[in-house]
Amino acid sequence: QVQLVESGGGLVQAGGSLRLSCAASGRTFSSYLMGWFRQAPGKERDFVAAISTSGVNTYYADSVKGRFTISRDNARNTMYLQMNSLKPEDTAVYYCAASVHSTWYAVDRESRYVYWGQGTQVTVSS
């Protein structure tokens, strides 16, 4: 089992940047396919980005492509989400998630992910 803890959220003005971190416990972080999801008030949780076990493959939702960058440091058991050019519509609780299956397939589906963090709030003011 792995525990995930997000950090780095906060309040930022539109056009600003934030970097989220997801720290994982355990010794098998490098074997997990990882993802970021977000949930805005009154809406369903949506996929944001995913990264393969080695970090070579990444995939983004169209809404964040070109603005957000997902990365991971397996030596530090940590995944990141660099968010630039933030918009008010990016306001949400951001969750990191881990999949025990490393195959690069349907990485945008919540059902792929077994372990979830508690979330970190990101608020973008206009």
- Per-residue pLDDT 10s for the chain (126 aa) are 899 999 999 999 999 999 999 999 977 899 999 999 999 999 999 999 999 999 999 999 999 999 999 999 999 999 999 999 999 999 999 999 999 999 999 999 999 999 999 999 999 999
Q: Quick one: pLDDT at residue 1?
A: 82
And the tokens for 52? 């393969």
Q: CB-based burial of residue 17 (10 Å sphere; 0-12 exposed, 13-18 middle, 19+ buried)?
A: exposed
- CB-based contact 6:100 (threshold 8 Å): no
| DSSP structure class, residue 63 | T
Which DSSP state fits 3? -
Positive or negative, the Cα torsion across 77, 41, 60, 15? negative
Position 34 scores a pLDDT of 98
Show the tokens assigned to 38: 């977000």
pLDDT at position 108 is 97
